[in-house]
Amino acid sequence: MDAIATKPAELLPTQEASVHTNTRELLDHANRDAKRRGLEDWLIVDIDAHHVESVSWNQIVHYIEDPVQRAAALDYHKNRVGAPPYGLSGDLGLRYQSVGGRIPHQDDQKEVVEDKSVHRDVTLTRRAMEGLAVDYMVVFPTPMLFLGLHPQTRMEVILARAYTRWTIDNLLRADPRIKTFLYLPFNEPDECVRMIEDFADEPGIIGLTVPSVRHKPVHHNAYMKVYAMAEERGLPVAFHAGYHWQDQSLATVNQFLGMHALGFVWCNMIHMTNWVLNGIPERFPGLKSLWVESGLAWVPFLMQRLDDQFLMRQSEAPLLKRLPSEYMSEHCFYTSQPMEKTHPRALQSTFEMIKAETQLLYSSDWPHFDFDTPGTIADIPFIDEQAKRNILGLNAARLFNLPTEPVKRL
Amino acid sequence: MRYYVAEESEIGDGERRVVSCDGKEIGVFRVKGRLFAWHNRCVHQNGPVCQGRIYNRVVEPVAEDGTTRFQEYDAETFHLVCPWHGYEYDIETGQHPGNPRVRLRAAKLEIEDGSIYVSA
């Protein structure tokens, strides 16, 4: 009888992942999957990843232009005990994203970073780009996405400007592969204009973003100057979704699962409804809107709902010359994450309705609990390779004038 | 090809060894005295499931009148949780508690003269 060939297995360095695990090691499977799929030669643009800007808040407050607020913030961070970041609004302890610590990278990234020549967030972003095989990564803030509900609208302006100046100095100038969208303090339209005038030409800023959690109507006349500027400069406007526990329409929801499932969609459903029914795509035909982090399943629902209602009540939306769904599939772009994958036939129908081959852009949402790897697109069975290449990078390159040649090394 | 993982006595209850077998990763777990071996690939997005944290299953007792109050841990059921996205699997069955069709892929496990071997 032949002896069974045996050799020792190699113990993996990390037996149990934690907040201290290196991002490259944690994403090793994604990196290896990308190599196996041959994605090194594909342009991959991640339109929505995050850093946790509040970790650096004691640095960011130095960038506040208002000297009174700057002095108050510096004093606050120096002396106030147990203080959350100065001026930030939000829900403090209602942060259940990691499911009780089951998903450690959502809680923190306490890994060792040796490189002191750049900000720590640059290194973490580079590691994420390597792990996910990404060429360019658009980085969004995190707690600031709640600022649209700030009771002091001027504070949103102050903090948006400080954050933008800090980001330019510390992230964008450190690595040309890191990109961002310019935060618009949407509660003060005139300040949105100033933001564009002051910062939109900075290298690394490739679009504009409106954090969607807010109660301002996107069709208000006060915003038309902002949209005209965005259209003229070729800057897409990205509506980044979020949730908040104070939303009265969601007041009965008692689990984060439900809050996240609905909240991250609800805000963009409302903005999209107003965007289309008030004819913004007709008024600004060259303006591109991008709908971020709401997943995709809501889009076919809203298309069907609005089309049916519009045909019965056309006189209420006289600016529209076509069906709402046609504006949504031709003037609007969507990011993929968190892509609903559990019902493949529904997903296929969604891809067809949104014209995914030209309108869909890959996003990871790293390091959040529901992040998607590029494999979620590369593995889709019902689209061809060109469609996958478009979604993973080429659509973004067209929309944001990025180079189409990959720059990553796996 | 089979791969030597450890001596049986080296993996205590609740402990694990996650190993690479020439690039194919396998996790060996001991639960309630028994050993189980699963491939380190979450069925969701290929996450490193065997390197996730282990939790007791969460249950929510329902009283006779249909009401609930608090959640509890099931002391007898242990879940392996993928650290990427939180997919949970019963370590003994490899099944997701919310959908038994979602399950881990078992690796061949052999114990010979007190030594643990797996086949990739």
Classify residue A70 as exposed, middle or buried by CB count within 10 Å of its CB (0-12, 13-18, 19+): middle
Do B15 and B120 contact (CB within 8 A), yes or no?
A: no
> Coil, strand, or helix at residue A31?
helix
**Over the stretch B53-85, which tens digit does the pLDDT of each residue have?**
999 999 999 999 999 999 999 999 999 999 999
pLDDT at residue number A90 = 82
Segments in chain A below pLDDT 70 = 1-2
Find which of A102, A106, A109, A256 to mutate to test the B interface (most B CBs within 10 Å of its CB).
A102
- What are A's interface residues with B at a Cβ cutoff of 8 A? 4-12, 14-17, 21, 26, 28-30, 33, 99-105, 369-373, 375-376
pLDDT at residue number A60 = 98
Classify residue A305 as exposed, middle or buried by CB count within 10 Å of its CB (0-12, 13-18, 19+): middle
Pair type for strands A360-361 and A332-335? parallel
Q: Do A12 and B2 touch (CB under 8 A)?
A: no
Do A273 and A304 contact (CB within 8 A), yes or no?
A: no
Binning chain B into helix, strand and coil, the percentages to the nearest 5 are 5, 55, 40
**Of 3.20.20.140, 3.40.50.300, 3.40.190.10, 3.10.560.10, which CATH number belongs to A23-400?**
3.20.20.140
Where exactly are the structural domains of chain A?
23-400
**Over the stretch A110-143, which tens digit does the pLDDT of each residue have?**
999 999 999 999 999 999 999 999 999 999 999 9
Which chain B residues are Cβ-neighbours of A7 within 8 angstroms? Answer: 1, 3-4
Could you tell me if B53 lies within 8 Å of chain A, comparing CB atoms? yes
**Which residues are bridge partners to B108 per DSSP?**
B119
- Domains in chain B: ranges and CATH: 2-119 (2.102.10.10)
pLDDT at residue number A92 = 76
Cβ within 8 Å of residue A3, ≥6 positions away: none
Residue A157 has a CB neighbour count (10 Å cut-off) of 23
Q: Do A16 and B3 touch (CB under 8 A)?
A: no
What's the order of all strands across the beta sheet hosting B115-119? A6-8, B2-7, B115-119, B108-112
Q: Which residues of A265-283 are buried (b: 16+ CB within 10 A; e: fewer)?
A: bbbbbebbbebbbbbbbee
Residue B62 has a CB neighbour count (10 Å cut-off) of 10
Which tokens belong to A185? Answer: 């303090």
Which chain B residues are Cβ-neighbours of A99 within 8 angstroms? Answer: 81, 86
pLDDT at residue number A93 = 87
Do A211 and A148 contact (CB within 8 A), yes or no?
A: yes
Q: Do B4 and A99 touch (CB under 8 A)?
A: no
In angstroms, rounded to a whole number, what is the distance separating the alpha carbons of residues A75 and A83? 11
pTM for the structure as a whole: 0.96
Chains A and B form CB pairs within 8 A to the count of 90
**Over the stretch A330-356, which tens digit does the pLDDT of each residue have?**
999 999 999 999 999 999 999 999 999
Which chain A residues are Cβ-neighbours of B118 within 8 angstroms? Answer: 9
Provide the ipTM.
0.96
Q: Do A15 and B16 touch (CB under 8 A)?
A: yes
